Amino acid sequence: MRVTQAVFGVFHHFELAHQLHRRNHLQKIYSTWPWARLKREGLPHSLVGCYPLLHTTDYLLSQYRLYPEWLSAKMTSWAALSFDRWTNRVIAPCDAFIAISGAGLLTGRTVQARGGKFICDRGSTHQRYQENVVADEYRRWNVPLPLSKPHIALREEEIYNTADAITVPSTAAKRSFVQMGIASEKVHVIPYGVRLDQFTPTERPPSDSFEVLFAGQVSLRKGVPYLLQAFARLKHPKKRLTIVGAVQDDIRALLTTLPMENVTVTGSLPQPQLAKKMSASHVLVLPSIEEGLALVQGQAMACGCPVLATTATGAEDLFTDGEQGFIVPDRDVDALTQRMQQIADDPALQHRLSEASLVRVKSLGGWDQYGDTWDRLLHQLTGQPAD
């Protein structure tokens, strides 16, 4: 079977590429990052195609805030359309084309015209569903709504309708597609794996303090205000919340109005440092209001750090509530506080959750189960016999 991929940057697609390569399916993976960045992903150069000019420029300018939001939105759109036109020119005939959501509309149609299958891989909820949830959150916190980008939702929905299949990492994400009118049988849930070679327990959390960790974009979408409110209610003589991740503009001003006592914001950390933080924390709290399946959940579990997550995070596809961690309703400060307090008050419970998390995440075999599920789906879609 010949499979080609297209992805903006890296995301989880290079993990999928490794799984396909192991099974002799990978024909090529196309990315908008330069080879200087992609070579660290460990695939042969011959299997990687690069189209970096527009996306890399857009990324660098946005990092340094060198142009306004409206121009950034246009640049992002140009980069996506240009990448699609380029992959359409260079792609060889293949049996299946897997494109990250937002990419591959033109190329996918070309692949279909040649007899291949086009799969849209969406890392979060349905685009319009996501926009509705996030807009509601802005209104809840009286934060000005971001610049409207209707062209993004229109393109996404055209891709959803064109693709032969849509893959998402969680049942929560699938529910959003069904709610927005996509046939259930078209949407396939394939939960992410975790790099067990990079995330592993290195130490135990301290016994004289209670360490809470958040990892991810510090934003309204990630539910950070609810975590700060819940942590402020937590009763412990020596508690500490460490927030790892880049602070987004939508929450920057709001943070000055929220309780920040015993809270440290570190910014983004390299993965080795993040893994060390996870090992030394009693619980990772992920209070997102919208998500696909945050990779940090599996990473924390692989470090022996139990996860307390909302239903929106897709946690139900990774662990069982009450066995390896806890799952609470979205935007529920009382539930977040109660579960944190329960773990803080019961070291034996924290230890049981930690041990169960390690067992659960190791049963996934790193990314192998993810690769196996993809392999079955690709054979099903293409009608090719299994090897």
Q: What is the per-residue pLDDT for 64?
A: 67
322 and 227 within one domain: yes
Say if 201 falls within a structural domain: no
38 and 21 within one domain: yes
Q: What is the per-residue pLDDT for 70?
A: 67
236 and 160 within one domain: no
Q: What is the per-residue pLDDT for 149?
A: 77
Residue with tokens 């400060």: 333
Say if 19 falls within a structural domain: yes
Q: Is residue 64 classed as helix, strand or coil in its secondary structure?
A: coil
Compute the Cα dihedral for 264, 266, 271, 272 and give only its sign: negative
Say if 325 falls within a structural domain: yes
Q: What is the per-residue pLDDT for 72?
A: 72
88 and 138 within one domain: yes
HSE-CB at 354 with a 13 A cutoff on CA atoms is: 21
Give the span between the Cα atoms of 196 and 335, in whole angstroms: 31
Say if 239 falls within a structural domain: yes
What predicted TM-score, i.e. pTM, was given to this entire model?
0.93
HSE-CB at 351 with a 13 A cutoff on CA atoms is: 6
Say if 387 falls within a structural domain: no
251 and 322 within one domain: yes
Backbone conformation region of residue 120, classed left if phi is above 0, alpha if psi is from -120 to 50, else beta: beta
Residue-by-residue pLDDT tens, the chain, 387 positions: 999 999 999 999 999 999 999 999 999 999 999 999 999 999 999 999 999 987 777 777 776 666 677 667 777 888 899 999 999 999 999 999 999 999 999 999 999 999 999 999 999 999 999 999 999 999 999 999 877 778 889 999 999 999 999 999 999 999 999 999 999 999 999 999 999 999 999 999 999 999 999 999 999 999 999 999 999 999 999 999 999 999 998 999 999 999 999 999 999 999 999 999 999 999 999 999 999 999 999 999 999 999 999 999 999 999 999 999 999 999 999 999 999 999 999 999 999 999 999 999 988 888 999 999 999 999 999 998 776
Q: Nearest 5°: CA angle at 105, between 101 and 111?
A: 115
Q: What is the per-residue pLDDT for 302?
A: 97
50 and 164 within one domain: yes
> Cβ(179)–Cβ(206) under 8 Å?
no
349 and 374 within one domain: no
Cβ count within 10 A of residue 132: 16
350 and 373 within one domain: no
235 and 112 within one domain: no
Q: What is the per-residue pLDDT for 67?
A: 64
261 and 309 within one domain: yes
Q: What is the per-residue pLDDT for 56?
A: 77
16 and 124 within one domain: yes
Structurally, how many domains does the chain consist of?
2
Say if 203 falls within a structural domain: no
282 and 224 within one domain: yes
Say if 316 falls within a structural domain: yes
Q: What is the per-residue pLDDT for 366?
A: 87
Range of the domain at 42: 3-192+367-382
- Strand pairing category for 239-244 and 325-328: unpaired
Q: What is the CATH number of the domain that holds 260?
A: 3.40.50.2000
For the chain, counts of helices (H) and of strands (E): 15, 13
Q: What is the per-residue pLDDT for 55?
A: 75
